[in-house]
């Protein structure tokens, strides 16, 4: 099992080649996405428990609470639809279920982001640390994109260049959507001052 995780993270071509030769097994992808969901869901509660003056109602008043509740699973399905649809433009092989399964494996770095958010939530950190965490989050998003590139290359039997185009476009849309809502909220907060 640990060798599979190491292959997934550091030798994804080998990992997805092995995975695409077998029938999709959703146990590990569901655990990966589910863990990201649990860590994301716990973060506001940990934040209010450890930071003085924080009220759970204030933390949960953020407009994205609904998104927080369903984000990892919704993201998984939307990413899979994007990866599948664009891959099918280039190839007639590969199924949606195989794409869904392998996209779930590729979400492991996103789960690491959720763990990082939970671990740092009780800390009263400065702006430079926040910027560093945003940068680290972006790197982990790109790492997921790299894994998705290998996933669609092997799942749909497309060339590396086409896989880069597919995963690159989907990853770009994911990153833009991920940072758009907090940026809009920040701009509105600053405009209200």
Q: How far apart are CA 148 and CA 164, in angstroms?
A: 9
The whole-number pLDDT of residue 87 equals 96
Whether 75 has a pLDDT exceeding 70, the answer reads yes
Q: 144 with 49: CB under 8 angstroms? A: no
Whether 34 has a pLDDT exceeding 90, the answer reads yes
- 122 C-beta neighbours (distance < 10 Å), count: 15
Q: How confident is the model at residue 56 (pLDDT cuts 50, 70, 90)?
A: low
Q: How confident is the model at residue 145 (pLDDT cuts 50, 70, 90)?
A: very high
The whole-number pLDDT of residue 129 equals 74
Whether 121 has a pLDDT exceeding 80, the answer reads no
Helices 127-155, 108-120: crossing angle, 10 deg rounding: 160
Q: Where are the domains of the chain?
A: 2-191
| Tokens 């550091």 sit on residue | 10
Count CA atoms closer than 13 A to 118's CA, side-chain side: 15
Q: What is the pTM of this model?
A: 0.85
Across 168-179, average pLDDT: 92
At residue 170, the 3 state secondary structure works out as: helix
Q: 148 with 79: CB under 8 angstroms? A: yes
DSSP 51: S
């Amino acid at each position: 099992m640990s060798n599979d995780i190491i292959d997934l993270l550091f030798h994804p071509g080998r990992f997805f080649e092995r995975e695409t030769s077998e029938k999709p097994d959703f146990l590990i992808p569901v655990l990966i996405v589910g863990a990201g969901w649990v860590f994301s869901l716990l973060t506001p509660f940990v934040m209010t428990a450890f930071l003085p003056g924080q009220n759970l109602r204030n933390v949960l008043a953020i407009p994205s609470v609904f998104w927080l509740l369903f984000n990892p699973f919704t993201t998984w399905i939307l990413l899979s639809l994007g990866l599948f649809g664009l891959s099918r433009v280039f190839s007639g092989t590969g199924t949606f279920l195989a794409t869904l399964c392998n996209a779930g494996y590729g979400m492991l770095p996103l789960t690491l982001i959720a763990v990082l958010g939970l671990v740092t939530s009780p800390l009263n950190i400065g702006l430079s640390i926040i910027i560093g965490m945003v940068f680290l989050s972006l790197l982990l998003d790109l790492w997921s994109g790299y894994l998705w590139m290998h996933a669609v290359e092997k799942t749909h039997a497309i060339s590396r260049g086409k896989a880069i185009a597919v995963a690159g476009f989907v990853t770009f849309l994911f990153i833009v959507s991920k940072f758009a809502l907090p940026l809009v909220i920040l701009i509105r907060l600053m405009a209200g001052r």
